[in-house]
Amino acid sequence: MTAKRADFPLLASSPGLHYLDSAATSQKPRAVLDAMMHYYTHDNANPHRGAYALSARATDRYHQARETIAAFVGVRDSACLIFTRGTTESLNLVATAWGRANVGRDDEIVITGLEHHANFVPWQQLANAVGAKLRICDVTADGRVDIDQFRTLVGPRTKVAAFNHVSNALGTINPVREMIAIAHAAGAIVVCDGAQAAPHLPLDIDALGADFYAFSGHKMLGPMGCGVLVGKRAVLEAMPPYQTGGDMIEYVADDRSTWNVLPHKFEAGTPNVADAVGLAAACDYLQQLGMADVRAHEQTLTALATERLLAIPEVAVYGPPPAERSGVVSFTVGQIHPHDLATILDELDVCIRAGHHCAQPLMRRLNLPATARASFYVYNSEADVDALVAGVQRAREVFG
């Protein structure tokens, strides 16, 4: 089933808008906005605290949201699903709380050249702070992780391997099962950045087996400000908390404290209930569409856009072939700067992204200053591909 554009108030009220920047953030269906409004108009109170029915209802809504999201992404032990502000916070949580407790001088951290800054800088900073070695796996010319090099980089000194499931800049779907097996065979823990996978692929996090898996709600039809970190229970229980304060404690003595059980140990302070409720509604919406259909729909549009763009002189598309990418087309048009291209497209109501896509190490490796990126999602159609192609042709006319 494909999503109806009419389900998305912003798109429904802007019939001429071609929104092709869902890899940055998605639009929100009415079901998500309604769920959040319903929470605030009927169930809002500070959860876990009040000795009254309304607070119990808020607690219950928060709990239900966690259960729904956990079921959607294949997490059976929902207490191991921690709410955060997003992928960035999830990855910083791991690099800081787990990293500071477990990574020391001369230990090694393996990442890849394909990472978003959110899965690059926290590891770089951890390595610098504790004197560990950061090893960065090469990227092939067609934008894949060099898996042979990855195999040689991961060794007995590797404490952690961190990599994305899907690249935001190119759309590359990484062979994460193989990468997880390689890292685990060496005794390393695995941190997987699923920000571009959870919205677009059928996902079973338990079956995948990464020790940590992170994603953001706002890229999968949910609200901004709510994301997820899934961790293995034994790893979460053994590591220290990230932030301290209300809700996350068991007992506070004058000189020390003990921690609450999972997931509360990692959720200090008043939780973001409404956004969790919104994200759960987004999962319900995607569940109804069926993630296999979501993937198939994006693949069709990505293949079509790639083919039609490549038929235009001077267009180059980066990354592996469309069947091995998510709904992302990263491209350049001759010498036209991607920012100029995006400006021309904007005049035609086509929204794309231009720049380094928070992946400067990748752009350096591909020797590209910037690319234009069109990204597709459930509400896009062939009409959006037509508008993109027409816009690129117009830009070529404008820039000669």
Contacts of 124 (CB under 8 A, 6+ apart): 134
- The residue (of 164 and 332) whose beta carbon lies closer to ligand PMP is 164
Asked if 22 touches ligand PMP (CB under 6 A), the answer is no
- Contacts of residue 397, defined as CB under 8 A and 6 or more positions apart, other chains included, come to none
Q: Which is nearer to ligand PMP, 260 or 380 (CB)?
A: 380
88 binds ligand PMP (CB under 6 A): yes
Q: Report if residue 21 touches ligand PMP, rule: CB under 6 A.
A: no
- Cβ proximity to ligand PMP: between 225 and 391 the closer is 225
- The region of 115-123, 131-139, 246-254, 276-284 touching ligand PMP under the rule CB under 6 A is 115-123
One-letter amino acid for residue 36 of the chain: M
**Which part of the chain contacts ligand PMP (CB under 6 A), choosing from 64-72, 83-91, 243-251, 272-280?**
83-91
Helical segments of 114-258, H only: 121-130, 147-153, 176-185, 205-208, 233-238
Supply φ then ψ for residue 82, to 5 degrees.
-105, 135
Number of residues that bind ligand PMP (CB under 6 A): 13
Kindly state whether residue 196 participates in binding ligand PMP, applying the rule CB under 6 A.
yes
260 near ligand PMP (CB under 6 A): no
Of 81-89, 260-268, 364-372, 386-394, the segment contacting ligand PMP by CB under 6 A is 81-89
195 near ligand PMP (CB under 6 A): yes
3-state SS track over 329-376: EEEEECCECHHHHHHHHHHCCEECEEECCCCHHHHHHHCCCCEEEEEC
User: Minimum CB separation from ligand PMP for residue 115, in Å?
Assistant: 7
116 interacts with ligand PMP by CB under 6 A: yes
Using a 10 angstrom Cβ sphere, with 0-12 exposed, 13-18 middle and 19 or more buried, the burial of residue 154 is buried
27-66 positions binding ligand PMP, by CB under 6 A: none
Contact 105, 111 (CB under 8 A): no
> Catalytic: which of 80, 137, 351, 358?
358
Confirm or reject binding of residue 87 to ligand PMP (CB under 6 A): yes
- Which candidate, 162, 172, 231, places its Cα nearest to that of 200? 172
Q: Is 351 annotated in the active site?
A: no
Site string for ligand PMP, 157-176 (x = CB under 6 A): -------x---x--------
Phi, psi (rounded to 5 degrees) for 11: -75, -35
* 373 DSSP β-pair partners: 330, 353
In the complex with ligand PMP, the residue whose CB is nearer, 25 or 102, is 25
* Cβ atoms of 265 and 55 closer than 8 Å: no
DSSP state of 198: T
Nearer to ligand PMP, 214 or 395 (CB): 214
Q: Is 66 helix (H, G, I), strand (E, B) or coil?
A: helix
193 part of the interface to ligand PMP, by CB under 6 A: yes
Residues 313-372 that bind ligand PMP (CB under 6 A): 358
Residue 216 is a binding residue for ligand PMP (CB under 6 A): yes
Number of CB atoms found within 10 A of residue 185's CB: 10
User: Which residues are catalytic, by number?
Assistant: 358
Residues of this chain that bind ligand PMP (CB under 6 A): 86-88, 116, 118-119, 164, 168, 193, 195-196, 216, 358
